[in-house]
Structure 1
Amino acid sequence: MGEVARADRDSATRRQLTQLVCRRAPSVSIVHRRRIMLTVQDSERLVAGVWADLATAYGIVADFPGPDARADVVLSGPNLARTAFAIKRFTRPVQPSAARRLAAVAADSGKSDVRLLVIAPGASPEARRVAEEVGVSLITVQEGTQTEGFLCTVAGVVRLESPTQSPAQVRARGRVPWGTYAVAFTLLEGSVRDQSELAARAGIGRPRVSQVLTQLGEFVVHSNAEWAVRDPRALAAWLVERYPKEPLLATTWATLEPPVRAAETASRRLDEIGVRHAVSGEVAADRIAPWARPATAWIWVAAPADLQPAGLTPAPADAATLTLAVSEDPHLLSSARPAADGMPQLPGWRVWVDLVHQGRDDAADALADGLVAGRIR
């Protein structure tokens, strides 16, 4: 596996999100206009791709309302109260008259606990105004543009607007050497016999391993027929300066349970719905090298998930005790290993990098001391 370009990573993440929320396609109603037919690609974009967009751009998670529910989907997020929606899909931009007609139909349906959500390729300004006025949620999505609109929820209107990119985000375009980081993290876990073993463990191609070892020359040594790290702290410091700090997406949650229990509860929920994940942060550090009582929990996931059925509540970051984060690193979750109780957990040095990036210095220092002393990995 070679280096992964940003476009490829975004595409892979979108596929993971689509697989999560589209095990059963919502029973949408399609309005066909004269000579306008929905292509397979458009259908996938408007039915499945929109959930991936909502998750990656706004942290809004789609969930199934259950086989007996009268809704098509349930949406929730840190700033979005859990709300059930029935979906109507248009193949052409929505007009004001359509918004009024749909509101009347929804009012006559008797589904007072289910809101109406319209998904369309566009809408006129007047149609947007009318839709919001009558309480019809409206999402517009086109290929190559970000999903926008608003959701009329049980607690008010939530607006979906494209965030302004920061200079750091603009500079981040292009390739990130994930394969290089994978090799470095793998070597920190322990010595390897040869480059073939290193390639298999890191999850990249053998030719690329040779290039990376040359790049990491000052940090690695080849002796006694093994490849090993000269100074783990030096290589770890090199990684913490270069490895991307920000996740692709993070949703934050609160619970009355202590962080360790919260991580266990969340892990069980993620297992139930089939979402790959790995525990990191203070909870993982304490499990690897006990040092103090963790104050927060951090779990890397393949795709966002709704933790409300497990008793957690969406919360702003400053009030949250648990974070679910989606990484752009294609090797991160593959590096996870089950702990003694079966809960998947990142290797020690990956946990250490997360702790430093999160400003959890006390936990990071205690973990690094144990890792360097060779007591743990």
Structure 2
Amino acid sequence: MHAWAALLESGVTVRPTGPAQVELVAAEGDAVAVTAVVERRLTALSPSHVRSHLMQGSPARGELLLVVPSASRAALDAAAAAGISVLVADPTGPSAVTGRIVLPDRTIELGVDLPRPDARQPPSRPGRRPWGALTVVRRLLTAGPATQVDLGRSAAVSQARVSQALSGLVADGLVRRTADAGRPRWAPADWDALVDWWLTNYPGPGGITTYWYGLAGVPEQARAAVAAVSAAGMPAAVSGDVAADLLAPWRRPGRAVVYADPSGRPVHDELTAAELTPSGAGEATLELIVPADPGVWPAPGTSAAEADLPLADPLQLLWDVARAPGADVDQAVAALRPVLKARAAAAASR
């Protein structure tokens, strides 16, 4: 999310501790950190919305951060008076990031001259994210034919959710039902068409993204970041250009993508120790993403690694390459797809 990079421009360091929780600290003066729960609203913030939050219990100063598409001046005043931070960031448009960040010792006004969204990044989609259904499709595309029970287990959803996810795809001719030794199984009817469907419908990993800059080569930055995060006991996985370069070399990686699961601990010092510096989205050489989507990780009981680097789910690799900076993204995607397809076919034949 571009808004986190905008906070850096205002002198606020963002340290993700989970997909909906961050540690915020002013970069100047006597640093006093606060851990804030992040709540996203799909509608404009008004004073009445602030009052409704207070009726549910008053958060300690700075411990709630509302991310909204717009907010009135009265709403911002009411929120600041209540000790609630507000980040105004329209996920679908080019508007600048504004709002107020409430810290234990100060309130920081975010100005209208802050960075606008990175044009290369796909806009966020409002509404509930269908992680479970999309993970079911991931498993079909990467592991081949599977029973409804197996799909539910590997995607961590109920069998009813599996059935719901597959019914529309069957009707569209993207998924078919087969029988193996009398056991019904589900399989892609057309692997490429189902991949296209997934890429079109995937809303992104959600969660919190921070941007980093380093002087070393991009693959070396990814390796150093994974080593540092893993040494701290946090799961990590590489995606995007760096992962694609290991599987289907096509172009020089321009930006590393690393997923991490901090499980409540702030991710920051590990990367600075790896000689990375917080940056804006435009100049970043590495993205660190604490995802809300559990499907970015390989299926339970499996592992994916190349050259000793843990990799994200194959579909995540493809999605991240498709949104990477560079004029030859389409060629990189075209080089990666047949490799992933061949790997899926090999997995299905086991």
The verdict on how the C-alpha distance between 1:339 and 1:366 changes in structure 2, with shifts beyond 3 A counting, is same
**Secondary structure at 1:250 match in 2:** strand
State the match for 1:240 in structure 2: 199
The verdict on how the C-alpha distance between 1:82 and 1:263 changes in structure 2, with shifts beyond 3 A counting, is farther
1:187 deviates by: 0.5
> Which structure 2 residues correspond to residues 261-300 of structure 1 after superposition, within 5 A?
261-300=220-259
Query: What's the CA shift string for 1:186-232, capped at 9, x where partnerless?
Result: 10102234111111111211221122121221211222423221222
Choose from 118, 126, 134 the match for 1:172: 126
1:161 deviates by: 7.3
Instruction: State how many pairs are aligned.
Output: 258
Task: State whether structure 2 residue 160 is matched by structure 1 residue 207.
Answer: yes
User: 2: distance between equivalents of 1:302 and 1:197?
Assistant: 25
Choose from 301, 319, 323 the match for 1:357: 323
State the match for 1:332 in structure 2: 296
State the match for 2:189 in structure 1: 230
State the match for 1:371 in structure 2: 340
Choose from 191, 202, 226 the match for 2:144: 191
Task: State whether structure 2 residue 267 is matched by structure 1 residue 305.
Answer: yes
Query: Do 2:62 and 2:103's aligned partners in 1 also have CA atoms closer than 8 Å?
Result: no
State the match for 1:254 in structure 2: 213
Choose from 168, 172, 175 the match for 1:220: 175
User: 1: distance between equivalents of 2:30 and 2:308?
Assistant: 34
**TM-score, normalised by the number of residues in structure 2:** 0.61
The verdict on how the C-alpha distance between 1:369 and 1:84 changes in structure 2, with shifts beyond 3 A counting, is farther
Query: What's the CA shift string for 1:56-85, capped at 9, x where partnerless?
Result: x9761289xxxxxxxxxx977xxx758762
Query: Do 1:199 and 1:209's aligned partners in 2 also have CA atoms closer than 8 Å?
Result: yes
**Secondary structure at 1:60 match in 2:** strand
User: 2: distance between equivalents of 1:285 and 1:121?
Assistant: 40
User: 2: distance between equivalents of 1:350 and 1:313?
Assistant: 25
1:151 deviates by: 9.5
Query: Do 1:255 and 1:312's aligned partners in 2 also have CA atoms closer than 8 Å?
Result: yes
Task: State whether structure 2 residue 31 is matched by structure 1 residue 85.
Answer: yes
Q: Which runs of 5+ in 2 are unaligned?
A: 1-6, 18-22, 35-59, 64-79, 88-99, 118-122
Query: What's the CA shift string for 1:281-337, capped at 9, x where partnerless?
Result: 011111222333212111122356211111111122221111112322133235483
Amino acid at match of 1:277: A
Choose from 312, 337, 341 the match for 1:346: 312
Identity %: 28
Query: Do 2:258 and 2:289's aligned partners in 1 also have CA atoms closer than 8 Å?
Result: yes
Amino acid at match of 1:148: I
> Which structure 2 residues correspond to residues 127-142 of structure 1 after superposition, within 5 A?
142=83
User: 1: distance between equivalents of 2:168 and 2:101?
Assistant: 43
1:249 deviates by: 2.3
**TM-score, normalised by the number of residues in structure 1:** 0.57
State the match for 1:61 in structure 2: 15
Instruction: Mark the structure with the bigger radius of gyration.
Output: 1
**Secondary structure at 2:295 match in 1:** coil
The verdict on how the C-alpha distance between 1:344 and 1:82 changes in structure 2, with shifts beyond 3 A counting, is farther
Structure in which a larger fraction of residues adopt helix: 1
Amino acid at match of 1:172: P
